Structure 1
Amino acid sequence: MREWTPWKTLDILQPFSEQSLSETLNGGQAFRWNYSKKDEYWLGVWGQNVARLRLTEKDCIQFSHPIDHLGCETELARYLRAKFDWDLAINNLPWRSDPHLEAAISAFTGLRILKQPFGEAVLCFLCSATKQIPQIKVMCERMALRFGNELTAGIHALPTWNQLATASETELRELGLGFRAKNIKKTADILAQHPELLDQIEASPYAEAKQRLVELPGVGEKIADCALLFGAAKLEAFPVDTWIIKVLENRYDLQAWTPSQLAQFGRIHYGAYAGFAQQFVFSYERATAVTQRSKK
């Protein structure tokens, strides 16, 4: 077992709360974080990095990583967007004229958007079709163990697209990917032949990036918007899933609108930080549903 560094406080502009840290790491943005109740820390993997996170009583983030993983602190700060001014982003959202958004923001103080490796975000959200968070996490873990690099004892990175290109569709199906295996294999083959493609997409303006991303096998508008929001830091992206459809139908009286129309509404109504607003209302709607079920 490799040694881990002593716990150290991460320099971060605005603090998390216990709730917002949990929702940020485990609320559908990323799928490689797990909480240890026994040890009271989060263990997560992104790129070629692995780290433990915990909150102090004063809501300071502390981290630890394998002692030979040099540069992990810099990568963690980038991943958590530690220096991004989230208060300024909130101030630019239309919560003053939108009571539902205001309630969602108040309920999840400290929520933020991660900056994941873009290629990983594309892969993870290709796994998300018709699946819930726990199931997506299982698929990602199986791919990591089967095809990814071992980062420290028993902990593997997600496979790169080049590594996935060496796998067959049958091997991917054996991991429980179902119909997603075909799209992942096809996408892997394309990206292995055009290794610059994802970098080009990430560097493009939002509309162009989305148009190019949906050309990949299995990448629809929702998957593209998730990957662009959580992996390419395009905060104007507005993913529309079943939860967001419910919110916009029930809270904004937008019945019978198509997902594309709802996405356009979200980008116009919420503005340049539409994806940030989406995460607040998404988290709030799920939490409200859990509360309502518990009262029955």
Structure 2
Amino acid sequence: MPDWTPWKTLPLKTPFTPDTLAETLDGGQAFRWNFQEEENCWQGIWGQNVARLRLSEDGELKYSLPKQSKGTKQELKTYLRTDFDWDAAIDQLPWRSDPHLATSLKAYPGLRILKQPFAEAVLCFLCSATKQIPQIKVMCERMAESLGNQIHPGIHALPTWEQLAAASEADLRALGLGFRAKNIKKTADLLANNPKLLNQIEAAPYQEAKERLVQLPGVGEKIADCALLFGAAKLEAFPVDTWIIKVLEKRYNLTGWNPPQLSQFGRVHYGDYAGFAQQFIFSYERSNP
């Protein structure tokens, strides 16, 4: 394991609580953060970066980086989107006329959307089909250890799409990816032959980006919306999974609506920051079923 720099403060306009820090890092946006009991901190990996985060007793966010790391404070700030005005985004959500949203917002003060590497977000959410968060984390870790570059002793990056293309479907199945291995292999082959495609998709407006993303093998509407929300910073994306279906049926009386209709409802009802609202109602429903 790496040697770590002394803990420093990362100023946040909108501070975390312990619950919202945990929910942001380990609530289904990203899958490479783990709580280190002995250090009382979160350790996470994204791209070629590694960091540790914890809250001080007075609520300040502290961070530590590996001493030999090429990663910087700025990369961490970008990942956490510290320059984005989350309070202003909340103010534009319809909480004044939506009591359930208002309740969800109050339950998770400081919750935010991470800006992950888009290529990684696509890969991780391709692993998410019919799986829960702990299982997705295991699949991501196995891919990193077997196929990804070592960043620090004992710490590996997720494989690039080129590295995945060099593996066989059997190799991927051996990592426990199951039926997802076929789609990941097909997508890897496609992206290895068109290395600019994901950059083009990320740069496109939301609707065009989604239309192009769902053309990749195994990428349905939910996976596309998750990748666009958490990896491409398209906050209007509104992923619909079983939790969101439950919320919209129980709290909004939208029984019988199919996922595309529910996704459209979310974008219309919550507006430009629909995906941000989605995180609050998703998090609240999981803790208050």
Give the structure-2-normalised TM-score: 0.99
**Aligned equivalents of 1:6, 1:204: Cα separation in 2:** 40
Residue 68 of structure 1 and its aligned partner are, at CA, apart by 1.7
**Aligned equivalents of 2:59, 2:191: Cα separation in 1:** 41
CA-to-partner distance for each residue in 1:10-56, whole Å, 9 max, x for gaps?
13222111110000000000000000122100000000000111111
Alignment-derived partner of residue 229 in structure 2: 229
Where do residues 104-115 of structure 1 align in structure 2 (5 Å cutoff)?
A: 104-115=104-115
Give unpaired runs (5+ residues) of structure 1. Answer: 290-296
Residue 270 (1) aligns with residue 270 (2): yes
Alignment-derived partner of residue 195 in structure 2: 195
Residue 254 (1) aligns with residue 259 (2): no
CA-to-partner distance for each residue in 1:50-75, whole Å, 9 max, x for gaps?
01111111211111111121342111
| Stretches (4+) displaced over 3 A | none
Where do residues 1-296 of structure 1 align in structure 2 (5 Å cutoff)?
A: 1-289=1-289
Alignment-derived partner of residue 293 in structure 1: none
| Change in CA separation of 1:278 and 1:2 when aligned onto 2, cut-off 3 Å | closer
Q: CA RMSD in A?
A: 0.8
Q: Indicate the SS of the match to 1:51.
A: strand
Give unpaired runs (5+ residues) of structure 2. Answer: none
Which amino acid is the alignment partner of residue 168 of structure 1? Answer: S
8 Å Cα contact 2:65-2:71 kept in structure 1: no
CA-to-partner distance for each residue in 1:197-252, whole Å, 9 max, x for gaps?
00000000000000000000000000000000000000000000000001111111
Residue correspondences, number: 289
Bigger CA drift: 267-276 or 59-68? 59-68
- Identity across the alignment (%): 71
**Aligned equivalents of 1:140, 1:27: Cα separation in 2:** 15
**Aligned equivalents of 1:61, 1:188: Cα separation in 2:** 37
CA-to-partner distance for each residue in 1:164-196, whole Å, 9 max, x for gaps?
110000000000000000000000000000000
Q: Indicate the SS of the match to 1:95.
A: coil
